[in-house]
Amino acid sequence: MSEFKKTVLCIGAGYVGGPTMAVMAHKCTNYKFHVVDINPKRIDAWNSSDLPIYEPGLDELVFERRNKNLFFTTEVAQGIAEADIIFVSVNTPTKTYGHGAGIAADLQYWEKTARQIAEVSTSDKIVVEKSTLPVRTAEAMSKILKANSRGLNFEVVSNPEFLAEGTGIEDLLTPDRVLIGADESPSGQRACQEIADIYSHWVKPERILTTNVWSSELSKLVANAFLAQRVSSINSISALCEATEADVNEVAHAIGTDSRIGPKFLKASVGFGGSCFQKDILNLVYIARSYGLEEVADYWEQVISVNEWQKSRFVRKMISSMFNTLAGKRIVLFGFAFKANTGDTRESPAIEVTKQLLEERASVVITDPKAIENAKIDLVEYLDQIEFEEDPYKAAEGAHAIGVMTEWDLYKELDYQRIYESMQKPACLFDGRNVLDHSALHELGFHVFPIGKSPLVHH
Ligand SMILES: NC(=O)c1ccc[n+]([C@@H]2O[C@H](COP(=O)([O-])OP(=O)(O)OC[C@H]3O[C@@H](n4cnc5c(N)ncnc54)[C@H](O)[C@@H]3O)[C@@H](O)[C@H]2O)c1
């Protein structure tokens, strides 16, 4: 007899699977949590002192629970066979080939997982969709499982993850809400209760929302679309502020204090990134088009178009303010991660900015406290044209310009007098996150170009 009440398996040891299971293992010590992945390097890292992802608070939780009720292995089949509940948290990127390329979700990893669950199971299972998926994917999952069930019962439940990287552990410990979508049948409702039981170890009942499966799947896509829409909305206004001498921070504050609008996600920047926003909106657009809802699709597609435009606008501003040529100029990017407190660079605006700077024949230097290794992977085709330097002071030596790409606290605390002195003159600073003290930098001698505000230049 196992010492544990239930065995939970998580397939996919990524940014979602690892932290989610670490928090569950910390809160439900009477359950066993087994995290599996097909990538042995990732699993080795989860079992080492140097975890494969950086997330504040994650190390402590993993080190506390690992090999007690939290296990990381590559034994996918064995894990499936032993589990009562299976969370599937594999990647669901945008398709890069065939029909729907560049827009639809690539469900190959998802389907392989479904087939493997059906193939190796010897007892009934609850299968939980943790990955973000197109609405009605649970139906496909159920069909694959049922077609291969050999008399077993599989109940598919949707439980999308709303954590944000950089605050992932905090978000998991104190979620705004947990969403569980399940079939309305008695067995569906029993499965829903089993998942709610896990969360009720630390989440209040009023924050555990239950819906039908389709509402749950769609809500995740819609939440990301609305968040990204707020960023693109304020970024579109940032351009208007630059043209009219309004200040985007003042506008954001003025509108954000309206309780109907609210203050969050109104920060103008060089653009949003991350593995989810773009792919989930594309997914929504694809689904809307597949139902013939062209206007709905066009509406949401604009959120992405504005984001692409904002990144290009940032580079164009560099060009026009540096005498219309960047050729041969040393430009240092402060930060490469898509946001602070993560090493994740997926869809980071810094990727596109770097590529456009290289097209202008600039000499690009990248510095970041956590993301240099990922940056090298993203820019693998350009490695001979880029310098990577962890020390921001060394990176800035001899530079013509700095572009702030990530709002790391460390960039707010640097000695900019020292940096200014080591740079070429005129020294330009483009603050793509509006996080530095622009007047102080201007006083030091920099030409300062914020987002959505008048530049502070010397004549
Ligand atoms: N990253 C986020 O902030 C975030 C937030 C909420 C939701 N999501 C969603 O969660 C899902 C996972 O995202 P992520 O960022 O953790 O992705 P990730 O790429 O970091 O991790 C996915 C892992 O799944 C593994 N995998 C793929 N196929 C497998 C298989 N057949 N068997 C075992 N392992 C397999 C991969 O090797 C990889 O390690 C996605 O659908 C994403 O949209 C992500």
Among all chains, which residue has been given the structure tokens 């932290």?
A: 19
Nearest CA to ligand 1 atom 6: 161
Place of tokens 């699709």: 297
Is the Cβ atom of 76 under 6 angstroms away from ligand 1?
yes
Q: Residue 1: which pLDDT band, with cuts at 50, 70 and 90?
A: low
- The arithmetic mean of pLDDT across residues 320-325, rounded, is 98
Establish whether residue 374 lines the binding site of ligand 1, counting it when its CB lies within 6 angstroms of any ligand atom. no
Q: State percent of the chain over pLDDT 70.
A: 100
Residue 81 has pLDDT above 80, yes or no: yes
Q: What is the pLDDT at residue 64?
A: 98
One fold for both 6-211 and 251-459? yes
132 lines ligand 1 (CB under 6 A): yes
Instruction: Using a pLDDT cut of 90, give the percent of the chain over it.
Output: 92
Q: Is the pLDDT of residue 72 over 90?
A: yes
Burial 35-46 (b: 16+ CB within 10 A, else e): bbbeeeebbebb
Q: What is the average per-residue pLDDT within 317-325?
A: 98
| pLDDT value of position 12 | 96
pLDDT band at 150 (very low <50, low <70, confident <90, very high): confident
Residue 231 has which token pair? Answer: 């960023």
pTM tops 0.75, yes or no: yes
Domain ranges in the chain? 6-211, 251-459
Give yes or no for residue 16 having a pLDDT over 70.
yes
pLDDT band at 136 (very low <50, low <70, confident <90, very high): confident
C-alpha 329 to ligand 1 mean position (Å):
39
The answer, yes or no, to whether any atom of ligand 1 lies below 6 A from the CB of 19, is no
Residue 110 CA, ligand 1 centroid: distance in Å: 10
Q: What is the 3-state secondary structure (H, E, C) of the chain?
A: CCCCCEEEEEECCCCCHHHHHHHHHHHCCCEEEEEECCCHHHHHHHCCCCCCCCCCCHHHHHHHHECCCEEEECCHHHHHHHCCEEEECCCCCECCCCCCCCCCECCHHHHHHHHHHHHHCCCCEEEEECCCCCCCHHHHHHHHHHHCCCCCCEEEEECCCCCCCCCHHHHHHCCCCEEEECCCCHHHHHHHHHHHHHHCCCCCHHHEEEECHHHHHHHHHHHHHHHHHHHHHHHHHHHHHHHHCCCHHHHHHHHHCCCCCCCCCCCCCCCCCCCCHHHHHHHHHHHHHHCCCHHHHHHHHHHHHHHHHHHHHHHHHHHHHCCCCCCCCEEEEECCCCCCCCCCCCCCHHHHHHHHHHHCCCEEEEECCCCHHHHHHHCHHHHHHEEECCCHHHHHCCCCEEEECCCCHHHHCCCHHHHHHHCCCCCEEEECCCCCCHHHHHHHCCEEECCCCCCECCC
- The CATH class that applies to domain 6-211 reads alpha beta
Cα of 441 from ligand 1 centre, angstroms: 41
Amino acid at 68: K
Query: What is the CATH superfamily name and number for domain 251-459?
Result: NAD(P)-binding Rossmann-like Domain (3.40.50.720)
Average pLDDT, the chain: 96
Answer yes or no: are the C-beta atoms of 177 and 208 closer than 8 Å.
Answer: yes
Residue-wise pLDDT for 262-295, tens only, equals 999 999 999 999 999 999 999 999 999 999 999 9
Q: What are the phi and psi torsion angles at 392 (to 5°)? A: -60, -30
Nearest to 84 by CA among 136, 18, 152, 29: 152
What would the mean pLDDT of 10-18 be, rounded to a whole number?
Answer: 97
88 has pLDDT over 70: yes
pLDDT tens-digit readout, 244-264: 999 999 999 999 999 999 999
Lowest mean pLDDT among 102-106, 224-228, 397-401, 426-430: 102-106
Confidence of residue 149 (pLDDT cuts 50, 70, 90): confident
Q: Give the mean model confidence (pLDDT) for residues 40-57.
A: 97
CB of 42 closer than 6 A to ligand 1? yes
Model confidence band, residue 148 (pLDDT cutoffs 50, 70, 90): confident
Q: Is 276 a catalytic residue?
A: yes
> Residue 3 — very low, low, confident or very high, per pLDDT cuts 50/70/90?
confident
Q: How sure is the predictor about 69, in pLDDT bands with cuts at 50, 70 and 90? A: very high
Chain segment 404-414, per-residue pLDDT in tens = 999 999 999 99
- Asked which of 84-88, 123-127, 148-152, 305-309 is least confident by mean pLDDT, the reply is 148-152
